[in-house]
Amino acid sequence: MLLAILIGFFAALSQLLFGKFMKGKLSILLSLVPLAFFIFFVQYIPAIAAGEIVTAKHTWVSSFGVDLDLRLDGLALLFSLMITGIGTLVFIYTSAYLKNHPMLDRFYGYLFIFMAAMLGLVLSDNFLAMFIFWELTSISSFFLIGFNNTNPDSRKSALTALSITGIGGLLFLAGGLLLGEVTGTYQISQMISQNELLVNHSLYVLTVALIFGAAFTKSAQFPFHFWLPGAMKAPTPVSTYLHSATMVKAGIYLLFRLSPVLGNSDFWNNTLLIVGGITMLYAAFHTLFRTDLKGILAYSTIAALGILTFLIGLGTKESFIAAAVFILVHALYKATLFLMTGAIDLYTGTRDVTKLSGLHKVMLPIAIAGGLAAISNAGIPPSIGFIGKDLIYESTLHFRHNATLLTTLAILTNILIGYAGYVAGVKPFIGRTPTGLEKVTFPHPAIWIPPVILGVLGFVFGLFPSLVEASLIKPIVATTGVDTSDIHIKLWHGFNTVLGLSAITIISGIALYFIWKPNATKRYFIQRFDKLSPKFIIETLADWFESFSDLWTRIFQNGYLRNYITVIVVFLISLVAFTLLNNTTYQIDYSSFSKLTIYEVVSLCIMILAIGFAVFTKSRLAAVAATGVMGYSICLFFVFYSAPDLAMTQFAIDTLTVILFVLVLYKLPRYLNLSDYKTRVKDGIIAIAFGGLVSILALEVLAQPQNNEISSYYAENAYVLAHGKNVVNVILVDFRGIDTMVEISVLAIAAIGVFGLLKLRLKSEERKQQ
Amino acid sequence: MRTLILKTASDYLLPILLLFSIFILLRGHYLPGGGFVGGLMASIAFVLHAFANGLKDTKKLLKFHPGFLMPAGLLLSFLSGLLPVILQDAAFMTGLWLENPIPVIGSIGTALFFDVGVYIVVLGVTLTIIFTISESA
Tell whether the model's pLDDT for residue A469 goes beyond 60.
yes
| CA A163 vs CA A130, A136, A182, A538: distances in Å | 19, 14, 29, 11
Minimal CA–CA distance to B114: which of A667, A737, A712? A737
Q: How many CA atoms lie within 13 A of A266 on its CB side?
A: 2
Could you read off the pLDDT of B43-65 as tens digits, one per residue? Answer: 989 988 888 888 888 888 888 88
Mean pLDDT of A728-750: 85
**A349 pLDDT above the threshold of 70:** yes
- ipTM over 0.90? The verdict is no
Q: Which helix (H) or strand (E) holds A647?
A: helix A644-666
B137 Cβ under 8 Å from any chain A Cβ: yes
Mean pLDDT lowest for which of A87-101, A142-156, A277-291, A466-480?
A466-480
Closest residue in A to B36 (Cα–Cα) = A649
Rounded to a whole number of angstroms, the distance from the CA of B118 to the nearest CA of chain A is: 7
8 Å CB contact between A298 and A229: yes
pLDDT: is A25 or A444 the higher one?
A: A444
pLDDT above 90 covers a percentage of chain A that reads 16
d(CA A391, CA A276): 17
The answer to whether residue B65 neighbours chain A at the CB level (below 8 Å) is no
Q: Which of residues 9-48 of B touch A (CB under 8 A)?
A: 24, 28-37, 40-41, 43-44, 47
* A621 close to B (CB below 8 A): no
pTM over 0.80? The answer is no
Residue A510: CA count within 13 A, CB half-sphere:
8
The residue of chain A nearest to residue B100, with distances taken between CA atoms, is A723
Contacts of B77 in chain A (CB under 8 A): 740-741, 744
pLDDT at B122: 92
Task: Write the DSSP assignment of A372-383 as a string of letters.
Answer: HHHHHHHT-TTS
| Mean pLDDT, residues A499-516 taken together | 85
Contact A652 B134 (CB under 8 A): no
CATH top class, domain A561-713: mainly alpha
The count of C-alpha atoms lying within 13 angstroms of the C-alpha of B38, restricted to the half-sphere facing its C-beta, is 26
Q: Residue B104 has what pLDDT?
A: 65
pLDDT value at residue A658: 87
Residue A460 burial (CB count, 10 A): 15
Q: How confident is the model at residue A588 (pLDDT cuts 50, 70, 90)?
A: low
pLDDT in tens, A597-652: 888 889 899 999 999 998 888 788 888 889 999 999 999 988 888 888 888 888 88
Distance of alpha carbon B55 from alpha carbon A663, whole angstroms: 12
What does the pLDDT read at residue A672? Answer: 65
pLDDT at B119: 92
Contact at CB, B70 and A762, closer than 8 angstroms: no
Which of A723, A760, A762 to probe the B interface (max B CBs under 10 A)? A723
Count other Cβ atoms within 10 Å, centred on residue A600.
15
- What average pLDDT does range A203-209 have in this prediction? 91
Ordered alpha helix ranges (H), A23-125: 32-42, 45-49, 74-97, 104-123
Q: Which of A642, A649, A733 to mutate to test the interface with B (most CBs of B within 10 A)?
A: A733
A173-197 tens-digit pLDDT: 999 999 988 888 888 888 888 888 8
Specify the 3-state DSSP secondary structure of A225.
coil
Give the nearest partner residue to A659 out of B30, B47, B93, using CB atoms.
B47
pLDDT of residue A1: 73
Q: pLDDT grade, residue A679 (50/70/90)?
A: confident
B137–A663 C-beta distance less than 8 A: yes
- Give yes or no for residue A430 having a pLDDT over 70: yes
Residue A290's pLDDT band (cuts 50, 70, 90): confident
Q: Find the helix or strand (DSSP H, E) in which A60 lies.
A: strand A54-61
Q: In chain A, which among 735-764 make CB contacts under 8 A with chain B?
A: 737-738, 740-741, 744-745, 747-748, 750-752, 754-755, 758-759, 761-762
CB atoms within 10 A of CB A526: 14
pLDDT (tens digit, 9 = 90+) per residue, A242-286?
888 888 899 999 999 998 888 888 889 999 999 999 999 989 888
Q: How far apart are CA A763 and CA A759, in angstroms?
A: 6
A124: β partners:
A70
pLDDT of A756 higher than 80: yes
Question: Quick one: pLDDT at residue A171?
Answer: 94
Q: Cβ contact (<8 Å) for A740 and B137? A: no
Cβ contacts of B137 on chain A, cutoff 8 Å: 663-664, 666-667
Q: Residue B19: which pLDDT band, with cuts at 50, 70 and 90?
A: very high
- The residues in B 74-113 lying below 8 A from A, measured between CB atoms, are 74, 77-78, 81, 92-93, 95, 97, 107, 109, 111
Split at pLDDT 50, 70, 90, the class of A225 is confident
What percent of chain B is modeled with pLDDT above 90?
A: 26
